[in-house]
């Protein structure tokens, strides 16, 4: 009996015709492309990549290896490396991955960078903004040339309702920052690492929201000796 699942993807002959039209597919292994997808000449599709639905892969972009794009547009010159993109628009010159998850209703604008282990959901990321690693951006509008340090979270859900965060242009969000929605961070604002932000931050402000460090002299003496004995 014919496997109907195969009908949702191009045959090997159709993939060969893509390469003849100028699409580079160095190795067909694991490459599955929907017949509804538009792959422009000059795009590169690497092994173990799945392109589903009415996706558009523009010239000069590279998708894969080990990536999934579903009903999304990948702009010219963008790179999707070992990542997944769903129902979203990725503009030109964007780099994503490895191991990033772009959930539905995202718009990532030109020259932005989304690094490893980043999840973005229902958000707009402005031009040339950087979200390098280990960060969650949900229900947020991020301006241009914004830098997120490692381990940041837009805390968009309080258990009952979703809230939205806004970050202005040229802002700097330090490592391990929590933005508790709804909150607005102004243009050129700087948030110190380890802060939990619950109130709006004005333009050009430095915001520090963390507990004061307290050192207890001598309180750790002998601690590691006891640990070694238990081990």
Q: What domains can be seen in the chain, in order of their start residue?
A: 1-102 (2.160.10.10)
- Residue 231 pLDDT greater than 70, yes or no: no
Catalytic residues: 133
pLDDT at 6 over 60: no
pLDDT of residue 224: 66
Minimum mean pLDDT range among 2-6, 148-152, 176-180: 2-6
Specify the pLDDT at position 29.
Answer: 96
Percent of the chain whose predicted confidence (pLDDT) is above 90? 89
Whether the per-residue pLDDT at 60 is higher than 50: the answer is yes
Mean pLDDT of the chain: 94
Q: How confident is the model at residue 174 (pLDDT cuts 50, 70, 90)?
A: very high
Average pLDDT over residues 213-225: 83
pLDDT for residue 5: 45
Confidence of residue 228 (pLDDT cuts 50, 70, 90): low
Q: What is the pLDDT of residues 74-106, one digit of tens each?
A: 999 999 999 999 999 999 999 999 999 999 999
Give the pLDDT of residue 110: 98
Phi, psi of 17 (to 5 degrees): -65, -35
């Amino acid at each position: 009996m014919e496997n109907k699942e195969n009908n949702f993807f191009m045959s090997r002959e159709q993939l060969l015709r893509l390469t003849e039209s100028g699409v580079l597919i160095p190795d067909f292994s694991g490459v599955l492309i929907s017949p509804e997808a538009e792959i422009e000449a000059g795009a590169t599709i690497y092994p173990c990549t799945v392109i589903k639905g009415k996706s558009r892969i523009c010239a000069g972009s590279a998708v894969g290896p080990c990536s999934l794009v579903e009903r999304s547009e990948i702009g010219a010159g963008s790179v999707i490396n070992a990542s997944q993109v769903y129902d979203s628009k990725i503009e030109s010159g964007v780099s994503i991955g490895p191991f990033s998850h772009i959930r539905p209703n995202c718009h990532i604008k030109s020259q932005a960078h989304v690094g490893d282990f980043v999840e973005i959901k229902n958000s707009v990321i402005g031009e040339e903004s950087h979200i390098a690693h280990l960060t969650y951006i949900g229900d947020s509008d991020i301006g241009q040339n914004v830098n997120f340090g490692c381990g940041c979270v837009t805390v968009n859900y309080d258990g009952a309702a979703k809230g939205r965060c806004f970050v202005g242009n040229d802002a700097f969000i330090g490592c391990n920052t929590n933005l508790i929605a709804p909150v607005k961070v102004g243009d050129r604002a700087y948030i110190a690492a380890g802060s939990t932000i619950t109130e709006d931050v004005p333009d050009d402000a430095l915001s520090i929201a963390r507990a004061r460090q307290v050192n207890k002299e001598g309180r750790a003496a002998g601690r590691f000796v006891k640990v070694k004995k238990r081990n």
